[in-house]
Amino acid sequence: MITGNDPNQPSAPTNQQSSSGIIDTSFKNIALPSTTNDPTAQTTNLTAVFKQVENSVVQITARTPNPNLQIIINGNPSTGQSTRLGSGFVYDKQGHIITNSHVIDGASTADITFIDGNTYTAKVIGEDTSGDIAVLQITDNFSSENLVPLTIANSSSLQVGQQVIAIGNPFGLSDTMTTGIVSQLERLIPNPDTRFSIPGGIQTDAPINPGNSGGPLLNTQGQVIGINTAINSATGGFSGIGFAVPSNAVIRELATMTKTGTFNHPWLGISGGKITPDLAQSAGLPRNYKGVVVGSVQPGSPAEKAGLHGVTPNDSSTTQHIGDIITGADGHPLRSIDDLINYIDLHKSIGDNVVLTVNRHGQIMNLNLVLQARPPSLGNPTPQESILP
């Protein structure tokens, strides 16, 4: 442990940006909305995009045994099956199909149906339940000439307000196209299956509904910028807020998933949240103080080994019992838990060293830790427990 600098203190101006917020201008595939006043031009463009990608988007039907569903076959009882319908898209000429992990839901095979109605069997060859990505490969005989892979674009080039297109099979309605814009970037997408959030999420108002999961979110060039994965809704229907896993996550994970069958994420091992003005004031700090309040520390985690402190149980209101406040990671200022999770998951790997700048009751220190692989899940949440990177 060594003394460090507090990112909340004033410092000299700098031209450098945090790596969690840099837009890589070396990629030129970004497509901005048309500025033409002719409404038919935009319609024609969207029609052309649909025709370009319609043979690449598939419906996925996955079936898993359901011990709670008993059926009778020829007079004999048998375990029934649960069926999940979702979407996916062709990745390459070798028959690889990309979708969400929750669409597969533990199945080892699935039916892949193309727009022409032809259905093929595919096996699951890689799955990242934490990141909600799965890759399948068609096992039936097929002609590679009939497969039309989609191009994967660089999602870090996206801008808020950029027009996007979603294609999938909502409620089983095949080959449905909707449009919208990028509403915001680097959102955390809750993953109830593992309790680990998916970082770098793309928020969109393009209508997506159950059945769209696993389908592509496209730019106006017909390139994949994300995988439609979730909606924020109290009713189960679309309410104007949808989320997609960024395409860069697919690029980062695919080679490992096809080789090993899975992908391991780096793990810090804390729960926490953004410090609020009232909490900052109660800790004797300025109300606009920025950072991540550590709620709890997982046993055996890198955070525990590095000596991070969480909130004392049953008392989080007094200064002496508040948890550590993480204000920076490797010199990058942290405003919220979103910043921390995005930085760890998108920019670091298992075995990497991370230096956290911590405010512990007014004492600023740097804690060094080495990231480990995430456990598969963290079980049921405890009261007031938040997202865990």
DSSP string computed for 123-150: EEEEEETTTTEEEEEE-S---GGG--PP
Q: Reply yes or no on whether 96 is catalytic.
A: no
From its phi and psi, is residue 138 left (phi > 0), alpha (psi between -120 and 50) or beta?
A: beta
Tabulate helix, strand, coil % of the chain (nearest 5). 15, 35, 45
The answer to whether the CB of 337 falls within 8 A of the CB of 386 is yes
Catalytic choice (105, 128, 132, 175): 132
> Residue 233: is it exposed, middle or buried by C-beta count within 10 angstroms (0-12/13-18/19+)?
middle
DSSP per residue over 212-254, as a string? -TTPEEE-TTS-EEEEEEEE--SSSS--S-EEEEEHHHHHHHH
What secondary structure letter does DSSP report for 152? Answer: B
Q: In residues, how long is the chain? A: 389
Residue from 155, 213, 296, 301 carrying the catalytic annotation: 213
The SS3 assignment for 343 reads: helix
Catalytic-role residue among 96, 101, 102, 324: 102
Note whether 130 and 262 are within 8 A (CB): no
Contact 162, 219 (CB under 8 A): yes
213 is catalytic: yes
Does the annotation count 132 as an active-site position?
A: yes
Structure tokens at 206: 């393009």
Query: If residue 80 lies in a helix (H) or strand (E), which one and from where to where?
Result: strand 76-90
- Please list the active-site residues: 102, 132, 213
